Amino acid sequence: MWRSDSFDEIVVAADRLGLLSDDHFTVDGTLIEAAASLKSFRPKDEPPADQPPDDPGIPTVNFHGQKRSNATHQSTTDPDARLFRKGKGKEAKLVFVGQVLMENRTGMAIDFTVSEASGTAERDIALDQVDAARQRGFRPKTLGGDKNYDTRKFVADLRTRNVTPHVAQNTSGRRSAIDGRTTRHIGYAISQRRRARVEEIFGWMKAIGGFRRTRFRGLARTGLAGYLVATAYNLVRIARLTTAPVVN
């Protein structure tokens, strides 16, 4: 996993200031709009047009009756972007997935990763982030998350890492992978309350950091931009934490 030295240095500085615990975390993902329009999402095997576009800036494209998927189509502007919708009834957009690993006590981001969007991207990255956190000296004991992380495989993968999955139960037409051995403990309820704080990170990064839509093309450049914005968030967070008492 590619990392930013400046981001890690700020996390280390926060740890030295005593602002971080090393055992309880939350993970969540959000969609970052790509710097590419849907009009650039063209068939991969489409030959170059013989005629110049009617408008070089915003060419007319007719998608009526055309089925588009990431398997058959690709953005000519940013090939790393993927067509994805957040949920049923939501508009499909060309996006990346930005995922944060948050320390629960103070709400600081200890990892931020940009990846290609897919149905399993958030869960796959979450495991990588847990492994990376352990390599950096943290000792994850619990990991909170929303219903998207309530799958048998993800829960089992966390347990093999000796991390207790504190993810929200998804019982919509199915059986949750989280049972009473987890939910009966008060720590589970605490994690569920604390995980809501992760939205503050995404809200700041998008509204203040301008990262609702990337200005860069490609996964690598967008990932670097994400790390820089997450670093800025942590600096603001450290400033607030060092001028106000920390609530345990």
Question: Within a domain: residue 126?
Answer: yes
Residue 247 has pLDDT above 90, yes or no: no
Asked, for residue 202, whether it belongs to a domain, the answer is: yes
In a domain, 52, yes or no: no
Asked if the structure places residue 83 within a domain, the reply is no
Q: pLDDT-derived band of residue 90, with 50, 70 and 90 as boundaries?
A: confident
CATH number assigned to the domain comprising residue 140? 3.30.420.10
pLDDT digits (tens, 9 = 90+) for 194-204: 999 999 999 99
- Please give the model's pTM, rounded to 2 decimal places: 0.87
User: Helix crossing, 198-207 with 219-241: angle to 10°?
Assistant: 110
Say if 43 falls within a structural domain. Answer: no
Q: Residue 202 is part of which domain span?
A: 5-32+95-241
The residue whose two tokens read 């953005």 is: 75
For residue 222, count CB atoms less than 10 angstroms from its CB and return exposed for 0-12, middle for 13-18, buried for 19 or more. buried
Cα 219 to Cα 79, 117, 189, 228, distances in angstroms: 9, 11, 36, 14
Chain centre distance of CA 37: 21
For 50, 113, 124, 167, the CA distances from 127, given in Å and listed in that order, are: 47, 12, 6, 13
Q: Which DSSP helix (H) or strand (E) runs through 167?
A: strand 164-167
The pLDDT tens digits for 140-173 are: 999 999 999 999 999 999 999 999 999 999 999 8
Choose among 130, 98, 123, 109: nearest CA to 197.
109
pLDDT at residue number 46:
76
Total domains present in the chain: 1
